[in-house]
Amino acid sequence: MADCLKLKKSNCKNCYKCIRNCPVKSIRFSGNQAHIVGNECILCGQCVVVCPQEAKEVVDSTEKVKIMLMDDAPVIASIAPSFIANYKNTGIESMRKALKKLGFFDVEETAIGATIVKKEYDEMLRKGNKDIIISSCCHSINLLIQKHFPDLLHCLADILSPMQAHCVDIKKRYPNAKTVFIGPCVAKKDEADYYGDIVDAVLTYEELSHWLKSENIELESNMDKEEYSKARIFPTTGGILKSMELDTEGYTYIALDGVDNCISALEDIRSGNISKCFIEMSSCVGSCIGGPVMEKGNRSIVSDYIEVNNYAGDKDFVVEKLSDSQLTKYMERIPQTLPEPTETVISEILRKMGKTKPEDELNCGSCGYDTCRKKAVAIYQGKADLSMCLPFLKDKAENFTDNIINNTPNGIIVLNDSLEVQQINNAARKIMNIKYASDVLGSQVICILDPTDFMEVKRTGRNIRDKKVYLAEYNKYVEETIIYDKEYNNLMCLMRDVTLQESEREKKENISRQTIEVADKVVDKQMRIVQEIASLLGETAAETKIALTKLKESMSDE
């Protein structure tokens, strides 16, 4: 497979949208980045269309074509018939005039090649050599069969695509010419590269529009409708059949669009349920007018169909038949190289994904794979990893969170915006003597706690941190922190049980108070003793003074 798609790694956000929309699951993930598996990809371009980050982009061929235009050889553009849907009210003459200003020698409609091809389909049906014939105009369908249904290659019409047939016809008329196909398809870039010198380059409508804009070239409104242009209907679902004669009896004619519908039909063919049938297959819903690189502002299948249908004529282009050797296209099997796991290996991978019994296999498709078993196969093949399973990640995250919440010593209560209990951990239940979480989950917080603080935090948006609260009904002291998550409208309450510390503090305060009381009593008693001693000393001193005075007087008299 040519390197038609590239990935902007910095843009890939690991969203898995590309793998969910890839019909053949040809994307692998490594290092949280998406990578295209070349030998499985059918270049349907769905990953480009659905990528929300525009991480997948089509390789631009504008510079390659500009270099071709510098050469002496004439460069002739083959423009797909869906151009009328992409460039509203702009006919082929307007396109020719604009592209000649860019340096092209001439511009022709790929519908000329479509006329050559559809005539070959009619001839193939008349010969009746094939039981089932699948159109080979869509390169993505060809790749689908080559890579994923190689046993049905015999059903694929071995005829060039309209792009190739037209470019062969151009080079037959202009032997030294270079050809450039312009259309809405990623796969055509690969088809041009793979099959050599038939088509020298491929541009998408987006590339052409950017080029015209850079050169300040505006397309003129000129709907030059002509009678001989029946094959212009080719890019619509059923367009191939509408352009064909369908005059061979015994065949059923079916038009299918969308890879999933085509895969379903191929599985039916493989099962032997279909016979004598011509099937027009297009990978894009709506066929080519629903192409992955139709410009984004121009995608509308109903109005686009009307545009194409109104522009198509009633008669075939006048074309010169090409030889069988010029028209034959050999499409070989493109083998798959990824190994297939055994049942034991699949069971082991499922076990690692937390799926130990059949009912665990939810088959939700969030990873991009239809079933858990297909996801397990992809893991074995290195295309996926365990982390791509959303239920697995959810369970893992919940278990991890639950382990933290239920083993923390602090109480945790989560309330919704209506102040209803959404989660309560073991520590909180222990603080409030709640036996089972189910007893309070979904109930108003007022049933277990005073809601005043919660209401205040919700009203003001200001969190409360480490507020000491006495829970009288539980005889517990806690340090309360209440946090309001404005984004998810949740209130989370953290409670640290400080009852033991409070008891110790009160005990110390009691001891201290008692000590102070004892000390006060001792001091009072000491003071009384001192006063009593002082009083006694005072009385003794007075008596002594009197006695000595009397003794003195007595001695004086003698």
At 94-109, the pLDDT tens digits run 999 999 999 999 999 9
CA distances from 174 to 64, 68, 170, 507, 513 (A): 21, 16, 6, 108, 114
Is the confidence at residue 86, as pLDDT, over 50? yes
Euclidean distance between CA atoms 59 and 44, whole angstroms: 14
- Give the tokens for residue 278: 């011509």
The percent helix, strand, coil of the chain (3-state, each to 5) is 50, 15, 35
Which pLDDT score, from 0 to 100, does residue 545 have? 67
Is the confidence at residue 537, as pLDDT, over 90? no
**Exposure string for 23-59, b = 16+ CB within 10 A, e = fewer:** bbbbbbbeeebbebbeebbbbbbbbbbebeeebbebe
CA distances from 363 to 259, 343, 352, 388, 393 (A): 21, 18, 16, 13, 15
Which pLDDT score, from 0 to 100, does residue 427 have? 92
Higher pLDDT residue, 518 or 289?
289
Number of neighbours of residue 126 by Cβ within 10 angstroms:
11
Contact 306, 298 (CB under 8 A): no
Is the confidence at residue 390, as pLDDT, over 60? yes
Is the confidence at residue 457, as pLDDT, over 60? yes
C-alpha 291 chain-centroid distance: 21
Is the confidence at residue 134, as pLDDT, over 80? yes
Q: What is the gyration radius of the CA atoms in the chain, in angstroms?
A: 44
Nearest to 44 by CA among 133, 136, 144: 144
Task: List the helix and strand counts (H, then E) for the chain.
Answer: 20, 16
The per-residue pLDDT for range 309-347, each reduced to its tens digit, is 999 999 999 998 899 899 999 999 998 877 888 888 888
12 band by pLDDT with thresholds 50, 70 and 90? confident
Is the confidence at residue 523, as pLDDT, over 60? yes
Cα atoms in the 13 Å half-sphere on the side-chain side of 129: 9
Give the least confident one: 69-73, 216-220, 225-229, 317-321: 225-229
The per-residue pLDDT for range 459-477, each reduced to its tens digit, is 998 999 999 999 998 999 9
Task: Over range 531-558, report the average pLDDT.
Answer: 69
Cα atoms in the 13 Å half-sphere on the side-chain side of 285: 9
Which pLDDT score, from 0 to 100, does residue 536 have? 76
Place of tokens 């034959």: 328
Which pLDDT score, from 0 to 100, does residue 1 have? 47
Query: How many residues does this entry show for the chain?
Result: 558
Give the least confident one: 10-24, 51-65, 197-211, 298-312: 10-24
Concatenating the DSSP letter of every residue in 286-315 gives TGGGG-TTS-GGG--HHHHHHHHHHH--SB
Place of tokens 């990978």: 283
Give the H/E segment covering residue 204. Answer: strand 201-204
Nearest to 456 by CA among 433, 432, 480: 480
Euclidean distance between CA atoms 476 and 492, whole angstroms: 19
Is the confidence at residue 394, as pLDDT, over 80? no
Task: Over range 430-455, report the average pLDDT.
Answer: 92
Is the confidence at residue 161, as pLDDT, over 80? yes
Give the least confident one: 89-103, 198-212, 373-387: 373-387
Euclidean distance between CA atoms 250 and 116, whole angstroms: 24
CA distance from start to end of the chain: 153
Nearest to 18 by CA among 354, 4, 5: 5
Given its phi and psi angles, is residue 442 left (phi above 0), alpha (psi -120 to 50 degrees) or beta?
Answer: left
219 band by pLDDT with thresholds 50, 70 and 90? very high
How many degrees, rounded to 5, is the angle at CA 441 between CA 439 and CA 442? 120
Contact 163, 113 (CB under 8 A): yes
Is the confidence at residue 40, as pLDDT, over 80? yes
Is the confidence at residue 556, as pLDDT, over 80? no
Which pLDDT score, from 0 to 100, does residue 471 have? 92
Strand 411-415 to strand 490-497: parallel, antiparallel, or no bridges (unpaired)?
antiparallel
511 band by pLDDT with thresholds 50, 70 and 90? confident
Give the least confident one: 173-187, 251-265, 371-385, 428-442: 371-385
Which pLDDT score, from 0 to 100, does residue 548 have? 65
- Name the average pLDDT for the chain: 88
Which pLDDT score, from 0 to 100, does residue 555 have? 67
Which pLDDT score, from 0 to 100, does residue 114 have? 97
Instruction: Give percent of the chain above pLDDT 90.
Output: 58
